[in-house]
Structure 1
């Protein structure tokens, strides 16, 4: 995908994830004004980190090999671990991860997930050229799928609204 597609994806993710993290569909009361204030605050908190994370992998166009140098699992692991070490930049990893998904599912070329160990690029046959008239539609479809997955994780597996440091501490306490 191109920069426009990644920014569009990140904005829609911040909006959708804001709703997912703020409104519990089991207890939602549509006339409560404080819910909408909390929603606006959550979207504001999510927007910058997710957009920065979504744009970061394409920094490799200025150096290195595009869709290899910063489009791989070791880079994503660094962003997943960053909040554990420094207790900030929560949700940047979501921008990075969804950038990868959009490049693998939404575009024809794919990314080198295991670079530098392997230069092979992985993709799905669902992608379109970044200049295609269908690029925006593919971005909307991929974003909707990402939000469904994130909602499923948040509601049924683990809350995405807790810090990764707290999650790691709880996980290690269980072990």
Structure 2
């Protein structure tokens, strides 16, 4: 995807993730307080998710695009960062969804195992970044990403806890 697609993805993710983290579908009642809490959560999520969603494309300025910063070791660093430093909690979601959008939404794919392997992985669902359908594909992929995030949040572990606490609760389930 191009920059416009990643920005659209990040904005929709921040909105959708704000709803997922704020609204309990079993007991939600719309009030002025709940609207304020939702707006506050979306505001808190917007910067880290957008930064994470745009960060991998920094490799257009150096290195090899869709290789240098589009791989699992980089994602592991963003997953570990909150565990070590206690901040940047949601940046990893932006990075991970950037990867998903590049693999599922575009024809080229990404080099998941770079620098060990330069092979790029993709799914046959993508379109060219210049396609008139690129925005629609971005929205469809983003809705699917939000569905996965909602499933994780409601059924596996809460996404608004620290990753250390999530890891502990996840291993307790296993």
Alignment size in residue pairs: 174
Match of 2:82 in 1: 83
Report the alpha carbon displacement of residue 166 of structure 1 after superposing the two structures with TM: 2.9
TM alignment of 1:50-129, pairs within 5 A: 50-129=49-128
Match of 1:17 in 2: 17
Distance of 1:166 and 1:124 partners within structure 2: 33
CA contact (8 A) 1:103 1:111 kept: yes
Report the alpha carbon displacement of residue 164 of structure 1 after superposing the two structures with TM: 1.2
TM alignment of 1:28-47, pairs within 5 A: 28-30=28-30, 32-47=31-46
Match of 2:143 in 1: 144
Gaps of at least 5 residues in structure 2 are none
Gaps of at least 5 residues in structure 1 are none
Q: Secondary structure of the residue that 1:155 maps to in structure 2?
A: helix
Alpha-carbon displacement from aligned partner over 1:9-58 (angstroms, at most 9, x marks no partner):
0000000000000000000112x211111100100000000000000000
Alpha-carbon displacement from aligned partner over 1:82-102 (angstroms, at most 9, x marks no partner):
000000001000000000000
RMSD, matched Cα: 1.5
Match of 2:161 in 1: 162
CA contact (8 A) 1:87 1:165 kept: no
Distance of 2:106 and 2:129 partners within structure 1: 6
TM-score normalised per structure 2: 0.96
TM-score normalised per structure 1: 0.95
Report the alpha carbon displacement of residue 174 of structure 1 after superposing the two structures with TM: 8.8
CA contact (8 A) 1:68 1:113 kept: yes
Report the alpha carbon displacement of residue 170 of structure 1 after superposing the two structures with TM: 5.2
